[in-house]
Structure formats: structure tokens, C-alpha cells
Amino acid sequence: MQKALVFVALASVVTAGLALDPKQAELEHNGWFRYTNQSASFGITDPSVSRFALERGYIRMSYQWSSFFFTKFTLDIHSSDKYPEGATVRLKEGYADMALPLQDFKFTAGLQKHYFGLGYSWDYTHPDKSLADAQGVCASADYGATVNGYLPSGLGEVQLGVYNGEGYKYAGKYANTSPELLANLRMTPLAGVMVGVSAFTNAKDNSAYKNDVSAGKLSPDRKKWLLPDTGNISRLGIAPVLKLTYGPVSLTGEYIVHNYTREYGYYTADSASGEISDPTRKVSEKKYAQSGFDLLPVVALAKRKVELYGRFSMWERKEDGTRNDAKSLTRYGAGVNYHLQRRAKGKPGLEFQLAWVRQQSKAEGSDPVDTFMAQFRFEWSQIITEFIPQ
């Protein structure tokens, strides 16, 4: 593996063509200031959530060292309840691109996009997360190494990657020794038609937590002392995707399957006293099967200044073959975007977004939860020539 990586790194110096012109840098800022109102059954005047927050505060810095070497670094400064200050900073991207001898292909190493489903290309036309991100299937970014590029004649794109598997919010002791393997393919066989599929798998993820008896808890039947060292094993995710575009109308969709087995560590406990009766650590397993789909129709009006959209999603979760109704749901809603200003290549510049989402659990007697989001999205970028003087 190490020899292969060295070869890829050395081979990258013989080709050309990444992002900016050589010796150019780009600074970018993305800010999303959002009001969120959440309530049961349209109880807008009696909400469970009513808040203003900075949902995103990306500061991106990238530099084109030469025609074959590019680096990028992104910080996310956003509202958070984790600290008394009400805000926090986290690393979202930090990677290097090296062009490969194969035309339009590159090797990327570092904290980068996670190429699964629609997550990596989700442009937040709808201000909420992609389905995989929202359901915890995977994060939008992860630490890893990928080979990615474009197919000849504009046929599509492909990515092959090795990741930690825990996402960009986990590092150090929370990243285990079993890497995630990922493959993604998207094809554009006809104008206005995109089809693709992506898949990932790993033998173990998010395991190796402390085997700390004092941090455990007694099971409800008082027969087990449950340890906080659980982890997922035999994990598999598959996501076919589709996008159809005709003039100002588009339909984007994906179907996701996410199956894994969760391993639980425990000691045998005395049912009467609740004390550990056998100090030998034991393991039990539970099988999870999740699946769902997401559809996003969009209509652009007034020369793309206005976007009207809907969204419909379903998600089902089974545990050892039995559906968990509390974790299974239906989501639907609609919204509108108004672009006051767009950047180059049609990217959002200054935009107002308004969205309504209703989520209904499949648990019997549950009330629907309605979420209203009103958001100002402001983004800019600036290219700087000769950022590092000769």
C-alpha cells in the first residue's frame, strides 16, 4: 500500500491541469443566517424551537501551486450550544490535489468530500441536509485518500477512496483501525440525464471506546452491565442516484440502503443486587437494516432568479428484522429561493430561502413535526494573483 501511494505521488508531477492558474489563490466565505421554528402539528405560536443561528460560516482558502499541485483548507465557524460563547470552530476541509498521468484525473489526500450518494454534490437548493447526512449514514466529508476524475467525452465522473469512516467530526482515538472503502460512478449518457451509483463498506467503525466499567450501566432486566465500547461491524451502504433536467425543470432523487451489525460489550450482572457476577467481558450483536429515498423537484423562474421546489423523503429502520417505528418516518415539504445576486458560473451569491418541512414518525399516535426555515445565504469568493511572490 505504501509503495503504491509513493508511486502515485511521484507520477503526479508529470501532468497538468487542476483548479486555478498557477500561483493564484482564492479566498471564499459562505454564511447562512437562519431562523428556525419547529412545532407539533403547525403549532407555530407555541414552538418547541424558535431561534436565530449562523448555521454555516465557511472560510475557504485555496492555492494553485503549479499546474499539477493544489491545496485547500476550510474552517466552519457556526452557532453551537457546545460552548458558553454560543459559537464554535471546526475543520471541514484540508487536502492536497495532485494531478495524475491519466487526463482529468487527480489524487486527493486529506480531509475531503465523501463521495456517497447525493451528499458531496448537494448544493442546498433545499436548505436542509441531504438524506444520507440527515439520517447519519455518512458525513459530507471525511479523512482519507481518493483517486477521482472525469470520464472521456463528458460521459461522467468516477471516484475510488479509502476513508477513516467516522466523518470529519471524529479524529484521534475515535477513528478505528478498519478503513472504509468507497466507489462512486456517475454517468451522463444523454443531455439532461444523470444516473449513478455509489457504495461503501468497512469491517468495523466507531468502535474502540473505553472499556470503562464505571461508565457502564445496568440493563433494564438487571442481568447485564452494559459497557460503553459498542461499535458497528460489517457495514455496507449503497445509493443509486438520478437527475433529470429539461429546461427550467429538474428532478433529483436517490435511494439509499445502509446495513450494519452493532456489537455490544457487557458483563453478566446479578439480577438481585445489580453487581457484576462474572468479570469476563462478553459480546452480543444486533443487526440493523435501513433504507429510504429522497425526491427533489425544482422549477426555475424569472431567468433563474426564483426557484420553487418540493421535497419528499421516506426512511425505514429495522432492528433484527423488526421495524423500529420511532426511527422510521416520512418527510415532505416545499419552499422557494430568491436569488438577489449570483456569482460566476451561476453559484449562489446573495439568496433568500424559505422552506417548510413536515416529518411524521411511523410510531402509532405520534404527532407530525413542522419545521419552518427562513434563511439569508451570502457567499463570495475572490481570486488573488501572485499570492506567494516569486
pLDDT confidence of residue 30:
96
Looking only at Cα atoms, what is the longest distance across the chain? 77
Give the separation between CA 333 and CA 254, rounded to whole angstroms: 17
Checking if the pLDDT of 322 tops 60, the result is: yes
More confident residue, 267 or 69: 69
Place of cell 426555515: 373
Question: At 300, is the secondary structure helix, strand, or coil?
Answer: strand
Label residues 151-188 b or e (16+ Cβ within 10 Å = b): eeeeebbbbebbbbbbbbebeeeebbebbbbbebbbeb
Q: Is the pTM of this model over 0.75?
A: yes
User: What does the pLDDT look like over 45-56, one tens digit per residue?
Assistant: 999 999 999 999
30 Rama sector, left if φ>0, alpha if ψ -120 to 50, beta otherwise: beta
**Could you give the CA distance from residue 338 to residue 340 in angstroms, rounded to a whole number?**
6
Confidence band for 7, pLDDT divided at 50, 70 and 90: very low
- CA torsion 66-69-70-71 (nearest 10°) is -120
209: which 3 cell numbers?
Answer: 471506546
Q: C-alpha dihedral over 153, 156, 159, 165, to 10 degrees?
A: 170
Parse the chain into domains and list their residue ranges.
Answer: 2-385
By C-alpha distance, which of 28, 90, 110 is closest to 63? 28
Bridge partners of 252, per DSSP, are: 243, 296
With 60 as the cut, is the pLDDT of residue 320 above it?
yes
**For residue 93, pLDDT beyond 50:** yes
Highest mean pLDDT among 196-205, 225-234, 290-299: 290-299
pLDDT (0 to 100) of residue 212: 63
pLDDT (0 to 100) of residue 279: 84
Residue 262 has pLDDT above 50, yes or no: yes
Say how many CA atoms lie within 13 Å of 106 toward its Cβ. Answer: 17
DSSP annotation of 124 reads: -
Shortest CA distance to 126 belongs to which of 371, 377, 355, 380? Answer: 355
Q: Please count the other Cβ atoms lying within 10 Å of the Cβ belonging to residue 127.
A: 21
Is the predicted pLDDT of residue 8 greater than 50, yes or no?
Answer: no
Q: Which pLDDT belongs to residue 2?
A: 42
**What homologous superfamily is domain 2-385 in, according to CATH?**
Porin (2.40.160.10)
Residues 230 and 211: their CA atoms lie apart, in Å, by: 9
261-265: average pLDDT: 86
The pLDDT value recorded for residue 266 is 87
Least confident among 73-77, 89-93, 225-229: 225-229
Residue 12 has pLDDT above 60, yes or no: no
Query: Quick one: pLDDT at residue 176?
Result: 75
Tens of pLDDT, residues 159-202:
999 999 889 988 776 777 789 999 999 999 999 999 999 999 98
At residue 86, the pLDDT reads 86
Percent of the chain with pLDDT over 90: 70
Tell me how far apart the alpha carbons of residues 296 and 311 are, in angstroms, rounded to a whole number: 5
State whether residue 94 is helix, strand or coil: strand
Strand 231-246 relative to strand 193-205, pairing: antiparallel
Residues in the chain: 390
Burial zone of 339 (CB within 10 Å; 0-12 exposed, 13-18 middle, 19+ buried): buried
